[in-house]
Amino acid sequence: MTQTKSRETLNTSRRWVIKVGSAMVTARGRGLDREAIADWCAQIAALRAQGRQVVLVSSGAVAEGMARLGMAKRPTNLHGLQAAAAVGQMGLVRAYETEFEKHGLRAAQILLTHDDVSDRGRYLNARGTLNTLLELGVVPVVNENDTVATDEIRLGDNDTLGALTVNLIEADLLVILTDQQGLYDSDPRNNPDAKLLSEADLSDPNLGGMAGETKGELGRGGMRTKLTAAHWAARSGAATVIAYGRTPDALLKIASGESIGTLLKPAQSVMASRKRWIAGQLQVRGRLTLDDGAVKVLREQGRSLLPVGVRQVSGEFGRGDLVLCLDLAGREIARGLSNYDSDEAQRIAGAPSGEIPARLGYPGEPELIHRDNLVLAV
């Protein structure tokens, strides 16, 4: 596919998720950059006038709270972060609401934690709310609920949240506005000769080595998290553009097909909604090490995981919890929802299906993980 043709497909992308990072939203730690926010809101209004639906995922609550509370450095303890987020969220939402109102648009605040996307019912409720808001012409402003999130329920960063939002609403495009021009062939902060990639296929195995780990002091994500987010967004068929957020009319240029930033093209088939939900869960409760035969069956035949192919069970998990399936070298092959708890899985590991009742003392499911609840690793 040529660059012009693939860029031109962005002209027809109707549903966007736009993620704006802390370094873009804030004025170098001195509160919100209201001029920049006004500019993005004006561009989003223009996108809406073109018939596009937009969900905005915005960082900046903690940074704004730090400025309001006079904090010189980002808090390192949980409650300090939560307090800063609680104070800063007020200013962040007010800033967006004020600017969208100037263009006749309504905004809505959506705060999520991992619990909201790991529970199937809450996941579907979140999707329904977002879809309804979009149909009503509202611009949802999504953020992680940092005021209550702990390490156990944290999504991790807003790049991840942006990708999960893409999968929630089946968006066509994820745009990540950051303080870098895009993805380079090496980390430009360490290598002055690094070259910007205009386009790349997410199937390229070399991409992972190009993404640096460097991150700003206000944010949690680096370029590697953005690349991971692009892979996750691709599960619903969405492309990702990583671009410098201060480029004049960046969003409008992307919409018109101009070559700014890096376009990351999906290389996998669209995943069914339920499997996207499974793949998007972050809290892994256990691990199953598989023999070579089981790995081959999963990869090549798309079948369920039977206990006979399991060599080792580790971790404590319950029925319905997310577990990883690893090959003998420790590489992730798949992940899925277990039909058994960890104790039961230990007892039936390596057993043919016909021996399951004898080992458990009661009838059980023939599959340890049913194929409908199993997602292969990218």
Tracing tokens 């256990």 back to the chain, one arrives at: 286
pLDDT at 10: 78
- Put residue 279 in one of left, alpha, beta given phi > 0 → left and psi -120 to 50 → alpha: alpha
Domain boundary among 275, 293, 309: 275
Task: Report yes or no: 266 and 199 within 8 Å, Cβ to Cβ.
Answer: no
pLDDT at 221: 45
- Shared domain check, 201 and 85: yes
pLDDT at 305: 96
Residue 312: HSE in the Cβ half-sphere, 13 Å Cα cutoff: 10
> Do the strands 286-290 and 53-58 form a parallel or antiparallel pair, or are they unpaired?
unpaired
Task: Report yes or no: 251 and 257 within 8 Å, Cβ to Cβ.
Answer: no
Q: What is the pTM for the complete model shown?
A: 0.80
pLDDT at 292: 95
pLDDT at 119: 79
| 140 phi and psi angles, rounded to 5 deg | -70, 135
Tracing tokens 């999906």 back to the chain, one arrives at: 266
Spatial CA neighbour of 338 closest among 377, 299, 300, 310: 310
Task: Report yes or no: 260 and 43 within 8 Å, Cβ to Cβ.
Answer: no
pLDDT at 113: 79
- Shared domain check, 162 and 241: yes
At 285-326, the pLDDT tens digits run 999 999 999 999 999 898 999 999 999 999 999 999 999 999
Domain boundary among 233, 251, 275: 275
All residues at 6 or more sequence positions from 150 whose CB lies less than 8 Å from its CB, including other chains:
78
- Shared domain check, 265 and 330: no
- Shared domain check, 68 and 179: yes
- Shared domain check, 291 and 269: no
Please give the structure tokens belonging to residue 146: 């940092």
pLDDT at 297: 93
- Shared domain check, 182 and 49: yes
At 139-159, the pLDDT tens digits run 999 988 766 655 443 455 788
Query: What is the DSSP-derived secondary structure letter of residue 292?
Result: H
- For residue 363, the domain's CATH number is 2.30.130.10
Residues of the chain with pLDDT under 50: 1-5, 151-154, 215-221
Domain boundary among 250, 275, 300: 275
Q: Print the domain residue range for 349.
A: 284-376
All residues at 6 or more sequence positions from 343 whose CB lies less than 8 Å from its CB, including other chains:
none
- Shared domain check, 294 and 234: no
- Shared domain check, 240 and 303: no
- Shared domain check, 213 and 344: no
How many structural domains comprise the chain?
A: 2
- For residue 191, the domain's CATH number is 3.40.1160.10
- Shared domain check, 295 and 243: no
